[in-house]
Amino acid sequence: MGEPGTYKGEPYTYVVFRKTVLYPQKTGKLEIEPLALSFKVGVPTNRRDRFSGRRIFNQVDKMVVSSKRVINVKPLPIEGRPDNFSGAVGDFNFKVSTNKTSLDATESLDANVLVSGGGNLKLFDLPKLNIPDGMEEYEPQHNERVRTNLTGMRGTISDTYTLVPQHKGDYSIPPVSFSYFDLKTEAYKTIESDEIVINVEKGPAVSYNDTSNEVSQERVNKKRVTQIGNQFRFLKSSADLQPIQNKYFFKSTLYWISLVTPLLAVPLFLFFGKKRQQRLDDISGNRVRKADKLARKYLSEAKKNLGSQKEFYIAMERALHNYLKAKLHIQTSDMSKDRIQRLLKEREVEETVTIEFIALLESCEFARYTPSSTSAMQQDYDKASRVIATIDKQL
């Protein structure tokens, strides 16, 4: 149902089409591109229904475009920023726990690093555990239980480590600290976990060196074995043995395999040849594969630098420029945003795809001066791969 309201001083009935929660990742003035909406409108005519007397309406296609919105994003303060700050903004709790503190050697335990609360939960990296020597560590499993509504993101994110102690003894997992920016107090806060001691009760003890008392005492109690005559001989590493019966090639297993293999290879060659021809005839599929291959070619350098913000965005910007040079035949000096939009429009590329491409270029520019998390870089990389493949198919 519509709600009454005013627009530019005139009364209107409006309907909320969609509400979106935004988390800015760059500072400065950010532009929200206009939103275009196409729908059908009932326009009254001068005719009336002969039975009910109601006015007859005609359905007309209508498209409306919203205005451009500008949002001013303030930078986080540099003063008081902790060294381990990874971009967390909101109100959070932090905890490090294990599912057991007493076990035997070669048994496994789970160590869980968990952050809960409200804020930009998907836009920062969790702190890493400092695993003590003598424990095998496996790649942590990342879990997210986050729900998003009009108040923002709330929930938990966690990394679960699987650890396996190798020897008997006590192992200490040192405290881990997590820092975030609290919007209520507008200050940085740091939470430190407690030290966790793991007691390994059964298993092999840590090996000692030759100077230890235990090894020396053990050597004292051992007696030297002396050899009398030739009762002990060394084992030969190679023996000169001959088979009792010689096997012939004719009618042997290898003989039948050599005979049957060419006969079986003929239908296999025909089958794979037919599959190859079907693949070559699949024009649409070949275009998709070619587009994906081109995207991977230009973005391979950016993928190598995932996690290193400066090198990643420089490589991705160079990949986007090289792609345009290859497809639109323009030089880097001519690559203004307006010229790119005009050329892509002339080549009948969809407007939404063009907007996404320009947004990627702007992301590369802003990322040189503002911090960005690994998850944000991964999202930009996936978006660039999809946009390049889409433009290549439409071209």
pLDDT in tens, 184-219: 999 999 999 999 999 999 888 765 444 444 433 433
pLDDT in tens, 334-358: 677 888 888 888 888 888 888 888 8
pLDDT at 224: 40
> Distance between CA 181 and CA 77 in Å, rounded?
9
pLDDT at 241: 73
pLDDT bracket for residue 87 (50, 70, 90): very high
pLDDT bracket for residue 231 (50, 70, 90): very low
Q: What is the mean pLDDT of the chain?
A: 82
Looking at per-residue confidence, does 359 or 366 come out higher?
359
pLDDT exceeds 70 at position 229: no
**Which residue reads 């303030």 in tokens?**
74
Q: 314 burial class (0-12, 13-18, 19+ CB within 10 angstroms)?
A: middle
pLDDT in tens, 98-123: 999 999 999 999 999 999 999 999 99
pLDDT at 284: 56
| Mean pLDDT of the region 305-313 | 83
> Distance between CA 98 and CA 176 in Å, rounded?
13
Query: Which residue, among 176, 214, 213, 182, has the nearest Cα to 195 in the 3D structure?
Result: 176
| Mean pLDDT of the region 221-233 | 45
Residue 113 β-bridge partners = 96, 159
pLDDT bracket for residue 91 (50, 70, 90): very high
Please tell me the least confidently modeled range out of 171-185, 210-224, 267-281.
Answer: 210-224
Please tell me the least confidently modeled range out of 49-53, 180-184, 243-247.
Answer: 243-247
Which residue type occupies 203? G
Contact by Cβ (8 Å): 99, 122:
no
Other beta carbons within 10 Å of 193: 19
Structure tokens at 274: 């037919």
Q: 211 burial class (0-12, 13-18, 19+ CB within 10 angstroms)?
A: exposed
| Mean pLDDT of the region 4-27 | 85
Give the C-alpha distances (Å, rounded to integers) separating 355 from 16, 25, 222, 386: 24, 18, 82, 13
Q: Is 313 helix (H, G, I), strand (E, B) or coil?
A: helix
pLDDT at 218: 39
Backbone φ, ψ for residue 128 (5° rounding): -95, 150
Does the pTM exceed 0.75?
Answer: no
> Distance between CA 177 and CA 190 in Å, rounded?
7
Which residue type occupies 94? F
pLDDT bracket for residue 301 (50, 70, 90): confident
Structure tokens at 287: 């275009």
Backbone φ, ψ for residue 281 (5° rounding): -80, -15
pLDDT bracket for residue 390 (50, 70, 90): confident
Q: SS3 helix, strand, coil % of the chain, rounded to 5? A: 35, 30, 35
